[in-house]
Amino acid sequence: MDTFKKEITSVPSTEKVELMRSRYLNEPLYIDSEYIKYYTEAHAKTDGRNPLERRAECHSYAIERLTPVIRDGELFAGSKTRYVRGAIPYCNYASRYILREFKNEEAEAQDAFTDIGKGGGIAKSKEIAEKGDYEFFCRKYLISKEDKHILKESAEYFLGKSMQDVGDALWKSVFEQADYIDKGWQAGLYTAPHDPAPEGRYVLDFETALNQGLNGIIERLRNKIKDAEVTDYQSAEKIYFWRAGIRTLEATIKWAENYGNKAAELAAAEKNPKRKKELEEIAERCHYVPANKPRNFKDAMQAFWFVYLAGHIEGAQLGYSPGRFDRYMYPFYKMDKDAGTIKDSEVLELLEMLRVKMTEIEYVASFSWAGLGSGNLFQNMILGGLDEKGHRGDNELSVLVLQSAINCQTTQPTLSIWYDDSLSEEFLLKAADCVKTGCGFPAWFNLKVFIQHELQKSGLPVSTIRKYAAMGGCTEPTMEGMSYGIVQAGFINHGKLFELAMNGGKDPRTGLVFDETKIPETYEELYDAYLIHMRNSIRNWQRYWNFVMSAHRQTCNLIFSSMLVKDCIERGLSLDDGGAICNGTPTTLSSGMVNVVNSMAVVKKLLGADTSMDEIREAINKDWEGFDVLRNKALDAPKWGNNDDFADDIYEDLFDTYCTYVSEQKNYLGEPYDPSMLAISTHAPFGKVCGATPDGRHSGETLCDGVTSPFPGTDTNGPLAVLLSAGKIDHSKIRGGLHNMKFHPSALKGIQGSKKLLSLIKTYFETLGFQIQFNVVDSEMLKEAQMHPENYRDLIVRVAGFSAFFVELGKSMQDEIIRRTEHYI
């Protein structure tokens, strides 16, 4: 990387952080069966218990027994697994894919067209597996012989008992559209079932966890039980719930104490007096928090990490996030700073360590989902915003968090900014510096638009929305500490819907017939057919997921998390029973709308004297072979992203219709589904299963990502026109959004470059755009990284709602990132 000099340098601020970061970078990925071993043991012993208490017992029994691991350099303790990069296989969620994997079968029919990374730690895994002590699992993890044996037993035990099996047993036999769902998976209309890792997209109430301590919450629960008056089954059920809660909180405290004991043990054996003292402090702290309210910032870091990690361990999480960290941690920072008991350099070191610790967490899902998520955990820390009174929310700690991300470049947590014009210049310029490192974050979110959305959706007071607006997962806003997770079925391939519309409901690749529609001859017929397929695919997908969620309630209800989501305790209801204040979060997501819009625009423009629908259909069925002239005409037709109403109007219409269709159905908790759009890495596998489209796209080519970014190469009027198009849709209707822009570092050079970037963001948000994120890299550098991944191990790029190590991405994702139009401002 010597040939490419970055404007902002990224160096961990201390040797300890450097040690932790390089340890992470050189570590392979492992499967750790310890948690699921104990979980399975407890499950076998608790048959017949109340389901809430049984779930609590299984998790508690397991977490109390986990081996505490404290590694060199660490100043706060807590590891999800025994490995630096370890994943827990949650057989209680889904176990068949694990057994299939053992049989070396393709875990999902879709694996054939999913592409996962091969570089970095994944390459290291392969190397070790070849030596024989470990086997390769799910194509990127190592598993020891002993763990494999345990995992196999657990997976077999959960046959018929896992969430997936319980759900399948119901919907596959009674849901009248079960066949449609199954065909959807085969054709690539839907993403594979993601039962193995369905949780996430929410933020715990860290404010309460820290300020009351878990002991304080246990006390509240005890009082609830003491004061309870049982008059009916519902009031009796609450007692089970509160008791279950106490069990998980006490287990969490026990788990922390195990770390305390481990630290004391290490301290006793430690020769280096400095490290000895650190370990003694960790030991003392782990016995104090998270049970009690932190006495200082260091306590608060330890307490936060335990609470955060405990929630992560309880469920198979993706997009589980720390939320407004700079707000709930600030009082502890301020207290120490005022007392002169901590230096910013110490805080920075802890924040940098937190980045490494959060990046160490891995997850395992079926192979095709690992590809879709590019292995990312989507932990989102959001900074800035406003306080409840409407004053700017950024503070000194916010700037330090940004600095920690500049210094210690890791993929997790991804940073976001709740943008408001009142944010301080120092904070905004630091955020711009972070963007300029090329790591892809922070992503920028328009708070004003989310407030509008949330007022329409939940009707909560504006002061509450300001204070608790957070981000759960890559680009999905949520209300911190009071929302159900955004648990949803997965993604719908809009490119595929377009193919169905074009071909009368038949998928050209597989020959499967979905709902029969008239083979269109006119633009209007095409448009109408598209709407039918869009509506049906959404409705069926949502209904299918409601079946799965009913199985979730029976098998995997989150008890620990319920303790830290308002107002579960007061209502005496778990998350799955509607205990949260906001239950409207579950959403249906989608990908590839821009290709549909561009294709519609082409058809609308070209149909007439010269060109017939049959000709267009023939051209795309032949992947444009022999249709060069027609393809050029298609490429010259109006496209989304050029501030041209011809295409933009189609987008607006489809977008509004999409939102309407999504909200027509109710979710499992009885709230209308909330529309959302994002893509993670779906646009690559979804593109692979789609033939050519009338917008000029070739068969198999990656679809357009996210909500509003133009398809690569079709934005010919510059970045301002792109943003003017993107600003046209009503972002307040939708939860989430995604707009990628790529810049050469040269376009953002110096403080003037930063100011240009900030003015671009400000203006886009004045048009009520919702989200924007930037890749600041050089495409030459990316090509070089593709050729020589070994030299670019730490190169981070923005993919969709998240950043990833470039060399660990699949080839098709790498190509897509290189292709995204490079803009100069």
User: What whole-number distance in Å separates Cα of residue 614 and Cα of residue 622?
Assistant: 12
Closest CB to other proteins among 320 and 711? 711
* CB distance 119 to 789 below 8 Å: yes
For other proteins, the binding residues in 113-132 under the rule CB under 8 A are none
Length of the chain: 825
- By three-state DSSP, how is residue 572 classified? coil
Question: Is 744 a residue that touches other proteins (CB under 8 A)?
Answer: no
Strand, helix or coil for residue 264: helix
Q: What is the DSSP letter of 435?
A: I
Buried b (16+ CB within 10 A) or exposed e, 434-462: bbbbbbbbbbbbbbbbbbbbbeebbebee
Instruction: Tell the smallest beta-carbon distance from residue 213 to other proteins (Å).
Output: 46
Q: Is 766 in the site for other proteins (CB under 8 A)?
A: yes
What is the DSSP secondary structure assignment for residue 437, as one 8-state letter? I
Residue type, 789: P
Residue ranges with strand state E in 442-563: 443-446, 469-471, 477-479, 491-493
By the rule CB under 8 A, 756 interacts with other proteins: yes
Residue 610 binds other proteins, judged by CB under 8 A: no
Query: What whole-number distance in Å separates Cα of residue 257 and Cα of residue 209?
Result: 17
Which one of the spans 309-317, 365-373, 582-590, 720-728 is the region binding other proteins (CB under 8 A)?
A: 720-728
User: Site for other proteins (CB under 8 A): how many residues?
Assistant: 20
DSSP E strand boundaries for 718-770: 740-743
Going by their DSSP bridges, the two strands 803-805 and 796-798 should be labelled as antiparallel
User: Do 468 and 385 contact (CB within 8 A), yes or no?
Assistant: no
Nearer to other proteins, 281 or 644 (CB): 644
Exactly one of 53, 57, 349, 476 is catalytic; which is it? 476
Residue from 632, 660, 746, 791 touching other proteins (CB under 8 A): that is 632
Whether residue 474 lies in the annotated active site: yes
Q: Which stretch binds other proteins (CB under 8 A): 48-56, 232-240, 505-513, 755-763?
A: 755-763
Binding test (CB under 8 A) with other proteins, winner from 243, 617, 755, 823: 755
Q: How far is the CB of 610 from other proteins (least distance, A)?
A: 11
Read out DSSP for 31-49?
E--HHHHHHHHHHHH-TTS
Contact indicator for 199, 317 with CB cutoff of 8 Å: yes
Q: For residue 446, what is the enclosing H or E element?
A: strand 443-446
| Single residue of 19, 264, 519, 635 touching other proteins by CB under 8 A | 635
In the bound state with other proteins, the residue whose beta carbon lies nearer, of 59 and 605, is 605
Distance CA 577, CA 586 (A): 14
Peptide bond into 567 cis (omega under 30): yes
Beta carbon of residue 622, minimum distance to other proteins (angstroms, whole number) = 13
Q: Does 629 bind other proteins (CB under 8 A)?
A: yes
Q: Which stretch, 466-474, 493-501, 524-532, 716-724, contacts other proteins (CB under 8 A)? A: 716-724
- Among residues 152, 633, 744, 819, the one that binds other proteins under rule CB under 8 A: 633
Does position 760 interact with other proteins (CB under 8 A)? The reply is yes
762 binds other proteins (CB under 8 A): yes
Among 128, 455, 519, 720, binds other proteins (CB under 8 A): 720
Is position 618 an interface residue for other proteins (rule: CB under 8 A)? no
Which CB sits closer to other proteins, 112 or 629? 629
Nearer to other proteins, 439 or 647 (CB): 647
For residues 342 and 607, which CB has a smaller minimum distance to other proteins in the complex? 607
Alpha carbon distances (Å) from 14 to 75, 143, 758: 12, 33, 31
Binding of other proteins at residue 643 (CB under 8 A)? Answer: yes
The residue (of 530 and 627) whose beta carbon lies closer to other proteins is: 627
For position 768 contacting other proteins by CB under 8 A, the verdict is no
**Nearer of residues 231 and 752 to other proteins, judged by Cβ:** 752
Cβ proximity to other proteins, 590 vs 754, nearer residue: 754
Choices 25-33, 152-160, 496-504, 754-762; region in contact with other proteins by CB under 8 A: 754-762
The verdict on 721 binding other proteins (CB under 8 A) reads yes
Interface residue with other proteins, options 621, 763, 778, 822 (CB under 8 A): 763
> Which residues within the stretch 11-40 sit at the binding site for other proteins (CB under 8 A)?
none
User: What SS3 class is residue 737?
Assistant: coil
Catalytic residue among 58, 474, 568, 659: 474
From the list 346-354, 586-594, 624-632, 679-687, the region that binds other proteins by CB under 8 A is 624-632
Q: Distances in Å between the alpha carbon of 605 and those of 602, 646, 708?
A: 5, 9, 21
- Say if CB 154 and CB 34 are below 8 A apart: no
d(CA 622, CA 112): 22
Compute CA distances 440 → 223, 424, 436, 676, 683, whole Å. 47, 21, 8, 22, 19
Residue 794 identity (one-letter amino acid): D
- What is the x/- site pattern for other proteins, positions 668-707, by CB under 8 A? ----------------------------------------
CB 766 to other proteins: min, Å: 6
Residue 308 near residue 206, CB atoms below 8 Å: yes
220 binds other proteins (CB under 8 A): no
Pick 288 or 445: Cβ nearer other proteins: 445
Helix (H), strand (E) at residue 675: strand 674-675
Q: Is 543 within 8 Å of 177 (Cβ atoms)? A: yes
Active site residue 618: no
| C-alpha span between 28 and 139 (Å, rounded) | 12
Within 158-232, residue ranges assigned H as helices are 163-174, 178-187, 206-227
Of the candidate residues 341, 463, 746, 767, the single one contacting other proteins (CB under 8 A):
767
The residues annotated as belonging to the active site are 474, 476
Site residues for other proteins per CB under 8 A? 628-629, 631-633, 635-636, 643, 720-721, 723-724, 755-756, 759-760, 762-763, 766-767
